[in-house]
């Protein structure tokens, strides 16, 4: 499948990953519609789409409402389904909002497709958070799921709905379980999307950033690598009905990431802090993923080293800080 | 724990299992509040509570709405959480209603408890449907979950929320995964609650009933045995944070159950039919459950033989048919 001329819908398309995919689609001459509710607590930022604003249809509407979705799926060939609430802490303090976005809205989207356009392909952005505290490392797709927060439960439901609509209706759905994704376009106001955002904001602002714990091992994917994975899954029939982990061969402790950021910035410092209680009880400890299945099936593997990705991210926010704070 | 004098809330308390538990609680001198939305497509029937109507507080309200729940949990010692949508087919045609009742309302209830009354105990009625098509038999609690319909996904979410609130907040939650439950008080208008209901209505009405497939092996629990299981879980600390299967050592094919009903009734007939397409694609084939864990932990096992339970059920509906059709 070639996306040139194809009609593509990107939910959450003003966010970090959504906007990276949108830019790639525009380069490939796709006909792109973005739907994004621009919720203040989520990842959307109009700056992310600035360069291509006149080449897309941007609809500021909310996938939680069937009326917002029903009219958009007709004639669509491909859906990148990235609208989500990603804050683990917010999911514990406001579980119904997390449920409505990450679980209920997925039914709204899948039902709209099933009724109007069951041959469209749809890719769902899930999270390795569904595994909970790993029983073994690296975590592969056969690892039991055991969500440790409301967000993990609702993302898991969102996954199940995509799987079910493949299994029962033969719809072309695919789920990617993302690890920590970072890069230009991410939320830096706070840690709602990734803790790296707030670290970078403080670092560039000349303040110390806080590293909670520090010993936890994690892997990270640069946003362009994640966009590549979504496009590879979109373009291959072999992804239909599948669930794939993303991940990275570079496994590092949070302390090491902090040190790398300070080094790349040329100055700065961080403080190691004990976990706040409400964060500690939903923390998953060490977690990194086996991404062999998507490698074997679709030929994907991350291309951007952590050091290079962090450098590009620092460079971006040095120039664009004002648009993200 | 003794329930005498304790304040107990039963959601879905006008349904088959809820009402059986309510009657038991009244015998044990508990102070019982029932909340039931009396939805026409669900299992509630006022007849189920007729004998004890003046000894309970019956609130016809809907657990989907926080305002309906928030005022009820204060001072409650124990919650039997049975409000649910049980039709697998309805969950496919109206997935959002199923989600709102089986998943979203569970968050409403748990959040109300967490804020007002985190020391209350709560028991959640889940289903062996979360296992999907069994990989081995009998299915134990370690069997992987793989829901094959929207109802299974939402019940699984409901379970996860109860587990999570135990793991994160230390709340006293317990999940029972029920197999086919039947008995006096069940819905017989249609197959929305159990296919046995509509079989019995046709049999007693002198019409042939339809058995879809017929070779599938299943187990069945009489409603009084299920009420026993809930009470055992309510009264023991050892149930806190646990998930238990119910089940029966009597494993029978649907054809055998049909033959048993005809024999017990003294007359009647059934027809074996091919599965309708929309039912076939969500069928799970043979399924019966290992109930060893609840036996070991709480001493529960079913007491009522299928033959005896079906006889009592036929007797009940011979006398009470008019109130259920």
Predicted confidence (pLDDT) per residue in B210-226, tens digit: 999 999 999 999 999 99
* B66 to chain A: closest CA residue: A96
Q: Which residue of A has its CA nearest to B168?
A: A281
Q: Is A285 on the interface with B (CB under 8 A)?
A: no
Count other C-beta atoms under 10 Å from residue A325's C-beta.
11
The reported pLDDT for the residue numbered B1 is 62
Confidence of residue A75 (pLDDT cuts 50, 70, 90): very high
**pLDDT above 80: residue B279:** no
Instruction: Say what the pLDDT of residue A1 is.
Output: 62
Confidence of residue A275 (pLDDT cuts 50, 70, 90): confident
Percent of chain A with pLDDT over 70: 100
Name every chain B residue with its beta carbon within 8 A of the beta carbon of A149: 164, 168
**How long, in residues, is chain B?**
325
Q: Do residues B155 and B148 lie in contact, with contact meaning Cβ atoms separated by under 8 Å?
A: no
Q: How many Å apart are CA A183 and CA A228, to the nearest integer?
A: 14
Q: Which two tokens stand for residue A208?
A: 């110390």
Say how far apart CA A270 and CA A257 lie, in whole Å. 11
Look at residues B218, B224, B113 and name the one whose alpha carbon lies nearest to residue B169.
B113
Average pLDDT over residues A106-118: 97
Interface residue B96 vs chain A (CB under 8 A): yes
Q: Read off the pLDDT of residues A9-68 as tens digits, 9 standing for 90 and up.
A: 999 999 999 999 999 999 999 999 999 999 988 899 999 999 999 999 999 999 999 988
Question: A99 vs B107: CB contact, 8 Å cut-off?
Answer: yes
Q: Contact B156/A160, CB-based, under 8 Å?
A: yes
Which pTM value belongs to this model?
0.95
* ipTM metric: 0.94
Q: Does A95 touch chain B (CB under 8 A)?
A: yes
- Across the interface, do B107 and A147 touch by the CB < 8 Å criterion? no
Distance CA B182, CA B223 (A): 6
Contact A104 B111 (CB under 8 A): no
Mutate to test the interface with B, among A160, A166, A170 (most CBs of B within 10 A): A160
Residue B315 neighbours by CB under 8 Å, 6+ apart? none
The CATH superfamily of A7-185+220-247+290-304 is NAD(P)-binding Rossmann-like Domain (3.40.50.720)
Q: Which residues of B touch A107 (CB under 8 A)?
A: 95-96, 99, 150
Q: Is B285 helix (H, G, I), strand (E, B) or coil?
A: coil
Confidence band for A281, pLDDT divided at 50, 70 and 90: confident
Q: For B7-185+220-248+290-303, CATH number?
A: 3.40.50.720
Average predicted confidence (pLDDT) for chain B: 95
Q: Which residues of A touch B168 (CB under 8 A)?
A: 92, 148-149, 281-282
């Amino acid at each position: 499948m070639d996306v040139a001329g194809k009609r593509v819908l990107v939910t959450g398309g003003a966010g970090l990953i959504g906007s990276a995919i949108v830019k790639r689609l525009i380069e490939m001459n796709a006909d792109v519609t973005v739907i994004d509710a621009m919720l203040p607590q989520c990842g959307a930022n109009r700056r992310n789409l600035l360069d291509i604003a006149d080449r897309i249809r941007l609809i500021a509407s909310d996938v939680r409402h069937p009326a917002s979705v029903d009219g958009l799926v007709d004639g669509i060939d491909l859906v990148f389904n990235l609208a989500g609430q990603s804050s683990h802490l917010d999911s514990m303090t406001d579980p119904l909002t997390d449920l409505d976005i990450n679980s209920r809205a997925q039914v709204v989207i899948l039902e709209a497709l099933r009724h109007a356009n069951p041959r469209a392909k749809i890719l769902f952005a899930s999270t390795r958070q569904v595994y909970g505290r790993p029983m073994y490392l690296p975590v592969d797709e056969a690892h039991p799921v055991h969500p440790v927060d409301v967000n993990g439960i609702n993302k898991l439901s969102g996954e199940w709905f995509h799987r079910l609509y493949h299994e029962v209706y033969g719809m072309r759905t695919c789920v990617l379980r993302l690890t920590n994704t970072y890069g230009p376009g991410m939320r830096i106001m706070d840690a709602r999307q990734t803790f790296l955002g707030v670290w970078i904001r403080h670092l560039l602002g000349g303040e110390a950033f806080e590293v909670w714990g520090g010993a936890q091992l994690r892997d990270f994917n640069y946003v362009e690598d994640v966009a590549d994975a979504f496009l590879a899954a979109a373009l291959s029939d072999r992804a239909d009905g599948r669930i794939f982990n993303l991940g990275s061969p570079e496994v590092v402790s949070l302390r090491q990431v902090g040190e790398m950021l300070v080094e790349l910035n040329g100055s700065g410092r961080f403080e190691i802090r004990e976990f706040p209680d409400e964060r500690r009880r939903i923390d998953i400890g060490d977690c990194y993923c086996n991404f062999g299945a998507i490698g074997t099936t679709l030929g994907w593997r991350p291309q951007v080293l952590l050091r290079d990705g962090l450098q590009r991210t620092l460079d971006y926010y040095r120039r664009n800080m004002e648009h993200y704070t």
